[in-house]
Amino acid sequence: MILDYVTIFPDFFAPLDLSLAGKAADKGLVEFRVHDLRTHTHDRHHRVDDTPYGGGAGMVMKPEPWGEVLDELTGPGTTIVFTTPSGEPFDQRLAEELATREHLVFACGRYEGIDQRVIDHAREHGEVREISLGDYVLNGGEVAALAITEAVVRLIPGFMGNAESLVEESHAEGGLLEYPVYTKPPEWRGHEVPAVLRSGDHAKVAAWRHDQAVRRTAARRPDLLHPSVLDDGSPIVRAVAGDAPELLVLQRACWVQEALANDSLDIPALHESYDDVVAWLRVWDTWVVRRAGRLVGAVRGRLEDDGAWDIGRIMVAPDLQGSGLGRVLLDHIQAVAPERATSYVLFTGVASERNQRMYKKAGFRLRGDLTAPPGAVVLTKRRA
């Protein structure tokens, strides 16, 4: 793979000679070439920027030097990468895609950006990708080009010493953040390595790592959990105050069914007012799912003093019941329970058979030994 970098700061790319990327170059797997945009200027001052048409702050990179250097570097089979905060977000999937290319040219913009005609022109001649590292602004695209390079080059076959670590990171905990890792010594400054990792029980280790990965993902990147629970890919998101009116309506619809199933109107969720819903939304960790803008599912959790994560108000719009959404919500609210939670507890109607079946399938057990409100039963589950 050939990687070209066009920049007004060639020194930024000194790290390419270091570390694994440098080794890949030594092995002949990749070739790095750095080009100073200013050598493609033809005025005394080597100007690469000018004021923007239409006015406004900042400077824009002039098209002529870019045109000249890109004409020189690009040909059939070239992918030109413009690093810009307004590009498509860079992620592992995109790194894997770029790793299949033979020739990447990184055009590193500075100032307010490059004259749009450079990008439009490049598109007429080959593949162009405008890529951003994330939602923040860097002074220029150089650091982004380096980051993209490191993510891409390590995916080239023959690059990593240990091919297994690549397989593991892409498959082991698909879509989840990595679990925490430990090495010797077993105790350090009063902190111990979790006993399960030293147990030699591989199944237990795997289960623990999976649970840790789910908890971390729920705490830090809830957007990655159940990213496509519904056919349009709607995620489960934290409820906001503005969800209260729809929650009230959905709750009434769901608990009328419960009232019929249990032949009783004496169910708190059925009697709550709008103000009641607004009030509990403030103190419960509540999650909702929308489809095409419509609120179709919700669930809430709250930590009790005894360490139990109290799960409740699992609601699914009547037309979507039986679609598996209730189970997804139940799995989700368990995954987002705080670290301190040691068990899960939930209540449902004595005669709510469908609910009880789902809860039992999810590992909950009926607890006749615990007290429940009149007409209800308690189910609990120990946290793994």
User: Which stretches of the chain bind ligand 6GU, using CB under 6 A?
Assistant: 83-85, 131-134, 136-138, 140-141, 144
Distance CA 225, CA 323 (A): 18
Q: What does the alpha-carbon distance between residue 75 and residue 357 come to, in Å, rounded to a whole number?
A: 62
Nearest to 272 by CA among 281, 262, 283, 264: 281
Distance in Å, CB of 69 to ligand 6GU, minimum: 19
Q: Which two tokens stand for residue 300?
A: 């809430």
CB of 149 to ligand 6GU, least distance (A): 12
Closest CB 337 distance from ligand 6GU, rounded Å: 34
188 CB neighbour count, 10 Å cutoff: 11
Separation between Cα atoms, residue 214 and residue 383, nearest integer Å: 13
d(CA 350, CA 357): 12
Comparison of 65 and 113: residue with beta carbon closer to ligand 6GU:
113
Cα–Cα distance, 378 to 38 (Å, whole number): 73
Q: Tell me the closest approach of the beta carbon of residue 22 to ligand 6GU, in angstroms.
A: 23
Q: What token pair was written down for 249?
A: 């309506």
In whole angstroms, how close is the CB of 188 to ligand 6GU at the nearest point? 36
The three-point CA angle 19-20-26 to 5° equals 95
Helix axes 274-283, 244-262, angle to 10 degrees: 100
Q: Which is nearer to ligand 6GU, 80 or 225 (CB)?
A: 80
Measured from the CB atom, the residue of 135 and 319 that comes closer to ligand 6GU is 135
Minimum Å gap between C-beta 157 and ligand 6GU is: 26
> Which residue number, 143 or 156, has a Cβ lying nearer to ligand 6GU?
143
Give the nearer residue to ligand 6GU in terms of CB position, either 83 or 234. 83
Nearest to ligand 6GU of 97, 211 (CB atom): 97
356 and 348 Cβ atoms separated by less than 8 Å: yes
